[in-house]
Amino acid sequence: MFVLAFPINPALLDALTADFIASKFDVRHLMRQIVSSETYQRTSVPNDSNKMDEQNFSHAMPRRVPAEALLDSLTQATGIPEAFGGVPGGFRAAQLPDGNVENSFLKLFGKPQRMDACECERDNGSNMLQALNFINGKSILSRVQNPGARPALLSRQKLTDEQIVTELYLWSLARNPKPKELELGVDFLKNSGNKPAEAAQELMWALLNSKDFLLVH
């Protein structure tokens, strides 16, 4: 059975094709053209004119980070690796060679078993179990509270509260905190009494549960 797919914007496809040929089939050039375009860089915040649009690319559509990327991001942010059965240590979720590798986190967040050669096998939907897993699941809490995790490592260094908050934002969200976020984070650490390490853990937990970490937007 064959399914014919028609481009939404044939003129754009023709222009990209011509540019690809002119660059002597340089894939990097093609990718650079796409990601530097205004369409690709549009915000996910809708306005009154496009808030109902879901197919014409008038604004970016927020979507959950795929299971493998989400677990790898969690590992990188906290500094605590994931142990996958049947593969050598140090493997990232995106590198798993076998779709049958059992992992409760990847299964919960919709990683396909690779039974079909179609991306439609992946489940990118969100549900209450996923939310509960991030709120109080072992895959999150055990990492954040680990003595070798990022919050504990930062707390043992001679850093100011501003530096700790900034480092947690950089590791969790790959960006610096906004002025208001920095102010709130510093106030939270200062009000932690004599438990700065626990406060750093709670701040990172909050960042990992934020839309900035969970969604592509």
Give the chain's mean pLDDT. 86
Residues 131 and 208 in one domain: yes
pTM above threshold 0.85 = no
114 pLDDT band (50/70/90 cuts)?
low
Determine the Cα angle at 134 with ends 154 and 118, to 5°: 115
| Number of domains comprising the chain | 2
Q: Cα separation of 61 and 45, whole Å?
A: 9
Q: Check residue 125 and give its pLDDT.
A: 72
Do 114 and 193 lie in one domain? The reply is yes
56 and 68 assigned to the same domain: no
Buried b (16+ CB within 10 A) or exposed e, 190-212: eebeeebbebbbbbbbebbeeee
Of the given ranges (54-58, 133-137, 198-202), which has the lowest mean pLDDT?
Answer: 54-58
So what's the pLDDT on residue 165? 96
Does 98 lie in the same domain as 10?
no
The pLDDT assigned to 1 comes to 47
Q: Which two tokens stand for residue 6?
A: 């028609």
Mean pLDDT, rounded, for 14-23: 95
Do residues 144 and 151 lie in contact, with contact meaning Cβ atoms separated by under 8 Å?
Answer: yes
Q: 106 and 46: one domain?
A: no
Map residue 215 onto helix, strand or coil. Answer: strand
Q: What is the pLDDT of residue 130?
A: 84
Token duo for residue 124: 């990118």
Distances (CA, A) of 114 to 15, 134, 179: 34, 25, 44
Question: Phi first, then psi: what are they for 174, rounded to 5°?
Answer: 60, 35
- pLDDT value for 120: 61
Q: In the structure, what pLDDT confidence band is assigned to residue 73 with cuts at 50, 70 and 90?
A: very high
Alpha-carbon gap, residue 67 to 113, rounded angstroms: 12
- Higher pLDDT residue, 180 or 126? 180
Same domain, 43 and 73: no
Of the listed ranges 123-127, 138-142, 161-165, 169-173, the least confidently predicted one is 123-127
Domain region containing 5: 1-61
Mean pLDDT across 136-160 = 91
Same domain, 13 and 100: no
Mean local confidence (pLDDT), 1-8: 62
Domain shared by 130 and 210, yes or no = yes
- Pair (82, 5) in one structural domain: no
Q: 55 and 76 in one domain?
A: no
Q: Is 160 exposed, middle or buried (0-12, 13-18, 19+ CB in 10 A)?
A: exposed
How far is it, in rounded angstroms, from Cα 67 to Cα 107? Answer: 8
Residues 8 and 78 in one domain: no
Please give the pLDDT value at position 173: 95
Give residue 43's identity as a one-letter amino acid code: T
Higher confidence at residue 3 or residue 168?
A: 168
Query: What's the rounded mean pLDDT across residues 202-212?
Result: 94
pLDDT band for position 17 (50/70/90)?
very high
Residue 110 and residue 155 in one domain: yes
Which range, of 19-28, 93-102, 118-127, 203-212, averages the lowest pLDDT?
118-127
